[in-house]
Amino acid sequence: MVPAEIIEFLSVLIYPGFIFIFTLAFFYEWVDRKFVARLQNRYGPLYAGPGGILQPFADFIKLLAKEDITPRAADKTTFRVTPILMLALALSTLFFIPTAYTTAVSWFEGDLIFVTFLVSILVLITLIAAWSSTSTFSTVGGIRVVLQMLGFEIPMTIVMVGPAIVSKTLSITNIALWQYTTGHYFAIYQPIGLIVLIICLLAEIKKAPFDIPEAESELAAGWITEFSGRKLALIRLTTDVELILAGALVTALFLGGPTGPFGIPSVIFFLIKTTGVILVISNLRALFARFRIDQMLGGFWKYLVPLALLQIILVTLGVG
Amino acid sequence: MDEERVIIPIGPQHPALKEPMNFMLKVEGEKVLEAIPNLGYNHRGIEKAATVRTYIQNLYLAERICGICSIAHVQCYAQGVEKLLEMEIPPRAQYVRLILSELNRLHSHLLWVGVAAHEIGFDTLFMYLWRDREIVMDTLELITGNRVSYGFTMLGGVRRDISPDMAARVKKEMKTVRDRTQYYKKMSSNERSILKRTQGVGILKPQDALALCACGPTLRASNIKWDVRREDPYLAYNEIPFNVVTSDGCDVLSRMIVHYDEVIEATNIIEYALDHMPSGSFREKVTRRIPAGEVVSRVEAPRGEDIHYIKSNGTDKPERFKVRAPTLGNIPAVCKMLSDSYIADVPIILAGIDPCFSCTDRVTFVKGEMGKGWIWTQEELRRYANRWYQQR
Amino acid sequence: MNVVKWARSKSPWIIHFNTGSCNGCDIEVVAALTPKFDLERFGVLLKGSPRHADVIVVTGPVTNQVKERLKRVYEQMPSPKFVMAIGTCACSGGVFKDCYNLCQGVDKVIPVDIYVPGCAASPEAIIDGAAKLLKKISG
Amino acid sequence: MVETKESKTGLLERLRNSIPQEWILSLKAPEPRRIFLSVKREHFKEAMTKMLKDEEITHLSTITGVDLGEEIEVIYHLDKSGTILSVKTTTPKSQPTLPTVTDLIPGAPLYEREVHELLGVAFDGHPDLSRLVLPEGWPPGLYPLRREISIENIRSALEKAKEEKKVG
Amino acid sequence: MEHELLRNLRKKVATEKYPFIKKKPPEGLRGKLIIDMAKCIGCGLCVFDCPAGAIEMIGKGTAADLKVYLDRCHFCGQCAESCPSKCIVYSTEFELANFDKKNLTIEFKRKL
Ligand code: SF4
Ligand code: SF4
Ligand code: SF4
Ligand code: SF4
Ligand code: SF4
Ligand code: SF4
Ligand code: SF4
Ligand code: SF4
């Protein structure tokens, strides 16, 4: 028999740990790019592996093998550490959301709150990273990241509470399970919450139309302008992990998590559901023009916060 | 300079500007206090080089002042030289040139709206527009053989004729382009995220537009009906019915609408011209020496009034060749639009005048302080200049 | 090592730099990215920051004013880096041969890996150049 | 001296009547919608002011400078309802100065700066005649569009300026 | 707009798979030029009129050889226009990208 420690170790390392998540991250980036390209009537990545499926992997390897420049003006330690820290944070957040199994790698009563907390920390680290590179593009980009957080954090937290109230638990794993056992999927009962959450997550992962911090046409590449080589590789990986994070969170809170009938392995359901969520996100990305930061903030406070509150009121009135 | 303000350099290799140009933006928070543009990156010294080349060689040099309105520049130049020769080019050549000019306008306008969409982060629309622009590029390639620099206009006429086959195909394509443009126009004026980014952005009031000598679609989007094709007709423009499109919004959205409408108008002009082409020769022989004299020639390039001044001393090389391309005429206007805007609006405002700096390459500075509109009076300019130099 | 070469040849990110071109080549570079030609098939992404780019795509005959900038951007790029000179102007200065404010071609300022002549180099010619360069990178 | 081909607007007639003869060196319309008016330098600003006001002209297309050898000719291309009115005046090359028109036409500063930079004409009263199109480090006093300056001259001057910069 | 997106999702991709599938270049495309030296009378007009100085004449008159620098040529077509004996033609070969500038010079020699 293999000792339990080794199984544990392997589960962290391979499945559903790092390797699984990284593979998934690359896969979803490919899905996203390919789908947007297709919507724009072109192929998108095509020659790296079949249908270009290895494209994100090739990008990653290439960046790893590239020279890694630290700008002279940058705060060296912070500049070096932040990309690693960000990836670590994104990964550990993912450990509290059920992915491959119906339960998350680690869970406890209240992890929902903890996850929102981790997400905010992630944003703050982005600001620090931007600040440490001391280029003006990065700084303005970094400030925008934080401004954007001020916009999406409140409505996001509020709508995440919706499912928690009904299922009477503050654990993401339990919320997912509750939906499966009762058959009450929140996507049906709390549609407003679902929409608000997806929009907020779009802002969180900084995808169009909320890619304001990276706005290519006005800020070079925003807060990531100065990062290159390995650091850039890690940052891109983080972005992809965040994409999974968004998909997994929506899946767990509103689509019943990695569960489904017929005794099919739960990971299949997870893949189907998250891919669905990611396709929706990609579609939204192709559908809109980028907003301006003040319009984004104004819009979130004017529309999303009231909508989120409305959802909660409906829930407490017993409609949800 | 105030240390607390962040200064963002934009360009010359900045993605927002496909052309080499440099803007220093003084910003506070998300607001632009002041923009100091510097356009000299593209000065090649064409005007000097033109004086040591023959009139024939200058034809190609003029074409390469700019690759986007190549037809406009070469038309303007050729028209000037032909006036010095006191010759009229054959009517058929006039029509062929006119069709080419309008095709040029088509591709340039579609290009611009695409770029504008890109600037507001709407890449899908950009992709669609450029995809449909390829139709126009294909027709240009069909007629001239090349996509960008056509080498088509010659002194005394054009290089090749438009055959009936070509004409039929061009007409078919024009219909597609018009339908697509109508769709995009409708879409752009309804899509909320586009309206949010363009409506009320980069305002240029009619009186400012006039005072700052703006031209082309920029001027017409400020509701001034002024078009060289109508005011000072050249080629066969006085034989062809067309509308001078204007819009009264004075903002980026209006500029977008004007561009769409001009595309639609241009497809109509092309169809009409193809139907009414006179027969006959398309080219006449021209001597190498050009009689002494001077001439001012102008055309309506896609971006507005393009004006050339040619002075001949009777040899085969011009004595003076002066070019004023439309973008330069619009720079004072864009400066006006920029001050007191949001950083996020800078790219779209800049793009709003449809800039091409390769023929412009000159520099200016803008001023403007937060909270205050500014009027370009000489007094203010002088004060600004003095302050600027003291602080350096 | 082979994986690295493979990855490099599959993921060329470009930065576009106009050094005083007539815009003809620039619009063709952009056209090469749009649906009809779609350079993203090859993994090409247009990047805004030189730090992220592998290939610098230079158009235009290099004016004196822009020379230093070109050098600086080139230096900012992390190696391995490649230079594509797009259009006759970038190759040699071409028709602007006796304009006083030029340094006649990109190779006078930074080393060029591949020359793509043409006026304007059509999107097909650009793709052809890119494909040749990628083939060389993959060894 | 006065030819009449210009017709539509009657601008030529009105100019002939409104501008005093002694200000004018020549006035002609070689083809439809083109008028060339040459005025004496002393009366240039007056004539300009009067014309802009009388004819309500706002649009200045551009300003061209031409080196005539002994003198520099400066041409202001104005637009009046589709007719280009080119107002010419000259200034001695040894000390080329002209009054500015920026106070009359807000869109003019760029064009004046360009003429200043390429031909060395100083415009009295212009707010800022700093570098416009030429690169930083361009040798001062080298005006590329002057006749006696050949392209070789410019190239060698640029080389020299570069060397001096290196040494200094 | 969503409608348009979905329509495009169903539509065939607009991309041409160049360089793997090549379409026929349009008639009149001006690519690499070819000089028929048998017909050339060595008048030098092509050299005289070329705006880019892309043609060089080595020798004089009917014995002269011609050298074309493709890295300077703008494919404008003036040399073919100017040539009195019509010996310059354009091929539609436009894929001229090269790693070395030297390979972009082509020489046209007279056969003796
Ligand atoms: S984006 Fe380019 S030009 Fe601007 S600061 Fe960065 S490196 Fe310099
Ligand atoms: S500004 Fe442009 S057109 Fe004028 S001389 Fe310079 S390069 Fe030539
Ligand atoms: S206006 Fe722009 S597109 Fe037109 S010739 Fe000039 S640089 Fe080119
Ligand atoms: S503004 Fe100038 S460079 Fe731009 S398209 Fe027009 S003529 Fe060409
Ligand atoms: S090669 Fe031709 S199209 Fe390209 S920049 Fe030069 S002149 Fe313009
Ligand atoms: S024949 Fe024509 S090209 Fe030859 S020298 Fe005489 S004028 Fe010049
Ligand atoms: S095509 Fe034009 S640039 Fe090329 S060699 Fe002939 S004349 Fe010269
Ligand atoms: S113009 Fe024709 S005949 Fe004369 S040298 Fe050139 S190729 Fe020969």
Q: Is A222 left (phi over 0), alpha (psi -120 to 50) or beta?
A: left
Query: Rounded to whole angstroms, how far apart are CA atoms B97 and B236?
Result: 9
Across the interface, whether the CB atoms of B13 and C18 are under 8 A apart is answered: yes
Residues across chain B: 392
B131 touches chain A (CB under 8 A): yes
What is the average per-residue pLDDT within D124-129?
A: 76
Indicate if the pLDDT at residue C80 is higher than 80. Answer: yes
Q: Whole-angstrom Cα distance, residue B282 to residue B91? A: 8
- Chain C hits for D155, CB-CB cut-off 8 Å, are 100
Which residue in chain E is spatially nearest to A280 when comparing CA positions?
A: E2
CA atoms within 13 A on the CB side of A306: 5
**Cβ distance B261 to B105 under 8 Å?**
no
Nearest CA to ligand 8 atom 8: E40
Residue E17: pLDDT above 70? Answer: yes
Q: How confident is the model at residue B27 (pLDDT cuts 50, 70, 90)?
A: low
**% of chain D at pLDDT higher than 70:** 87
Question: For residue B330, is it left (φ>0), alpha (ψ between -120 and 50) or beta?
Answer: alpha
For residue D142, the tally of other CB atoms under 10 A from its CB is 16
Strands, E assignment, chain A:
none
Task: Tell me the percentage of chain B whose pLDDT exceeds 70.
Answer: 77
Could you tell me which of A298, C107, C134, B155 has the C-alpha nearest to residue E102? C107
Rounded to two decimals, the ipTM of the complex is: 0.81
Look at residue D105 and tell me whether its pLDDT is greater than 70: yes
pLDDT class for B2, splitting at 50, 70, 90?
very low
Q: Would you say residue A1 has pLDDT above 70?
A: no
Predicted TM-score of the model (pTM): 0.83
Query: Do B121 and A40 lie within an 8 Å CB cutoff?
Result: no
Number of domains in chain D: 2
pLDDT tens track for B181-213: 998 888 888 887 788 878 888 888 888 888 888
SS3 content of chain D, % helix, strand, coil (to 5): 30, 30, 40
Residue with tokens 């071609």: C105
The DSSP letter of residue C63 is: B
Nearest alpha-carbon partner for B246 in B191, B196, B206, B197: B206
**Which of A230, A295, A199, A262 shows the shortest CA–CA distance to A81?**
A230
| Cβ proximity of D39 and D25 under 8 Å | yes
- Kindly tell me if the per-residue pLDDT of B39 is higher than 80: no
Query: d(Cα C23, Cα C28) in Å, to the nearest integer?
Result: 9
The two tokens of residue E12 are 């065939």
- Cα dihedral A104, A109, A112, A113 sign: negative
Asked if A41 and E8 come within 8 Å (Cβ–Cβ), the reply is yes
Partnered with residue D26 across adjacent β-strands are D38
How is residue B299 written in tokens? 């055309």
Q: Per mean pLDDT, which range of B30-34, D41-45, D67-71 is the poorest?
A: B30-34
pLDDT number for residue B268: 92
Contacts of E82 in chain B (CB under 8 A): 56
Q: Are residues D113 and D158 in the same domain?
A: no
| Out of B50-54, B77-81, C82-86, least confident range | B50-54
Which residues are CB-neighbours of D21 under 8 A, at least 6 positions away?
A: none
- Residue B176 CB neighbour total at 10 angstroms: 13
Which range is least confidently modeled, A92-106, A296-310, B130-144, C9-23? Answer: A92-106
Across A51-55, average pLDDT: 83
**Per-residue model confidence (pLDDT) at position B344:** 67
- Residue among B320, B364, B377 minimizing CB distance to D110: B364
Q: Residue B217: phi, psi to the nearest 5?
A: -55, -30
Does C15 reach chain E within 8 Å, measured CB to CB?
Answer: no
* Residue of B361 and A145 predicted with greater confidence: A145
Going by C-beta distance under 8 Å and a sequence separation of 6 or more, which residues neighbour residue B98?
A: B235, B236, B237, B240, B269, B273
The pLDDT tens digits for E25-52 are: 777 788 888 888 888 888 888 888 888 8
Q: How far apart are CA A52 and CA A44, in angstroms?
A: 8
Per the model's pLDDT, the better-predicted residue between B28 and C118 turns out to be: C118
- Other beta carbons less than 10 A from residue A37's beta carbon: 24
Per-residue pLDDT at B224: 85
Structure tokens at A152: 């999406």
Residue C80, preceding peptide bond in cis (omega within 30° of 0): yes
Structural domain boundaries in chain A: 16-319
Q: Using pLDDT thresholds of 50, 70 and 90, give the confidence band for residue B391.
A: very low
Report chain E's mean pLDDT, rounded to a whole number. 82
Enter the tokens of residue A244.
């999974």
Q: Please, what's the b/e burial string for B342-351 (b: 16 or more CB within 10 A of its CB; e: otherwise)?
A: bbbbbbbbbb
Q: Give dist(CA B74, CA D64) in Å, integer.
A: 19
Q: What is the CATH number of the domain that holds C122?
A: 3.40.50.12280
Looking only at Cα atoms, what is the longest distance across chain D? 62
Q: How confident is the model over C53-63, as a mean pLDDT?
A: 85
Chain E residues in contact with C92 by the CB 8 A cut-off are 69, 71-72, 101
Worst-scoring range by mean pLDDT, A281-285, B1-5, B157-161, D105-109? B1-5
Lowest mean pLDDT among A215-224, A235-244, A308-317, C6-15: A215-224
Determine the average pLDDT of the residues in C113-123. 85
Domain boundaries defined on chain B: 46-337
Go through A11-25 and write b for each residue having 16 or more CB atoms within 10 A of its CB, e for each that does not.
eeeebbbeebbbebb
pLDDT of residue B360: 36
Interval B101-149: pLDDT, tens: 999 898 888 888 888 887 777 888 888 888 888 888 888 888 888 888 8
H or E segment and range at residue C17: strand C13-18
Show the tokens assigned to B238: 């006085």
CA–CA dist A100, A104 (Å, integer): 8
Interior angle at CA A188, CA A184 and CA A191, nearest 5: 135
Residue range B313-368, pLDDT digits in tens: 888 888 888 888 777 777 777 777 777 777 667 777 777 666 654 443 322 222 22
Q: Given this model, what pLDDT does residue D1 score?
A: 34
| Interchain contact C139–A (C-beta under 8 A) | no
Structure tokens at A40: 């724009």
Residue among C98, C99, C101 minimizing CB distance to D135: C101
The half-sphere exposure of C107 on its side-chain side, counting CA atoms within 13 A, is 19
Contact in structure between D79 and D85 (CB atoms under 8 Å): yes
Higher-pLDDT residue of D136, A22: A22
Residue of B136 and D3 predicted with greater confidence: B136
CA torsion sign for A315, A318, A319, A320 is: positive
Spell out a b/e string for A265-280, using b for 16 or more CB atoms within 10 Å of the CB, else e.
Answer: ebbebbbebbbebbee
For residue B376, is pLDDT > 70? no
Q: How many helices (H) and strands (E) does chain E have?
A: 3, 5
Q: Give the pLDDT band (50/70/90) at residue B10.
A: very low
CA–CA separation, E1 vs B187, rounded Å?
7
Residues 326-355 of B with CB under 8 A from D: 328-329, 331-332
- Residue E86 above 50 pLDDT? yes
In 3D, which of A111, A52, A139, A79 has the Cα closest to residue A253?
Answer: A111
Q: How does pLDDT run across D46-73, given as a tens digit for each residue? A: 888 888 888 888 888 888 888 888 888 8
A263 confidence band (pLDDT: 50, 70, 90): low
Q: How far is C130 from chain D (nearest CA, A)?
A: 32
Q: How many domains does chain C have?
A: 1
pLDDT > 90 in chain C, percent: 1
* D7 or A9, which is more confident: A9
Rounded Cα gap, residues B93 and B277, in angstroms: 9
Secondary structure of residue A39 in the 3-state scheme: helix
Cα–Cα nearest to D63, from D4, D145, D138: D145
Rounded Cα distance, B263 and B237, in Å? 16
**Which two tokens mark B134?**
């390829």
- Atom nearest to E30 CA in ligand 7: 1
Question: Do the two chains E and C touch, given a threshold of 8 Å on CB pairs and at least 3 pairs?
Answer: yes
**A103 versus A191: which is more confidently predicted?**
A191
Residue of C24, C115, C100 lying closest to B151 (CA atoms):
C24
What are the DSSP calls for A112-142, one per residue? HHHHHHHHHHHHHHHHHHHHHT--HHHHHHH
Around ligand 7, the residues with Cβ closer than 6 Å are E 33, 50-52, 54-55, 73-79
Q: Give the distance from residue C48's alpha carbon to the nearest chain A alpha carbon, in angstroms.
A: 5
Per-residue pLDDT, C87 = 87
The boundaries of the domain holding residue D36 are: 5-133
Domains and CATH numbers, chain E: 24-108 (3.30.70.3270)
Alpha carbon distances (Å) from B256 to B200, B261, B354, C44 = 12, 9, 10, 30
Is B340 strand, coil or helix?
coil
Residue C30 has pLDDT above 80, yes or no: yes
Cα A136 from Cα A130, distance rounded (Å): 9
Position with higher pLDDT, B2 vs A250: A250
Three-class SS state of E6: helix
Rounded Cα distance between B267 and A212, Å, is 37
- With CA atoms as reference, report the closest residue to E96 among E108, E88, E109, E106: E106
pLDDT at A283 over 50: yes
Instruction: Cite the beta strand spans of chain B per DSSP E.
Output: 6-10, 22-28, 31-38, 153-154, 157-158, 293-301, 304-312, 318-324
Decide: B358 and B46 in contact? Cβ < 8 Å. Answer: no
Quick one: average pLDDT of B259-275?
A: 91
Tokens read off for B326: 């439309």
CB–CB of D107 and B296 under 8 A? no
CATH for the stretch B46-337: 1.10.645.10
Asked if C89 and B67 count as a contact pair (C-beta separation under 8 A), the reply is no
Distance, CA of B141 to CA of E28 (rounded, Å): 8
Q: Do D99 and D113 fall within a single domain?
A: yes
Any idea which residue has 């009547």 for tokens? D17
pLDDT band for position D5 (50/70/90)? very low
Q: Summarize the confidence of residues C114-132 as an average pLDDT.
A: 86
Averaged confidence pLDDT in chain B: 76
Are the C-beta atoms of residues E106 and E47 closer than 8 Å to each other? Answer: no
Atom of ligand 8 nearest to the CA of E82: 1
Q: Are residues D26 and D72 in the same domain?
A: yes
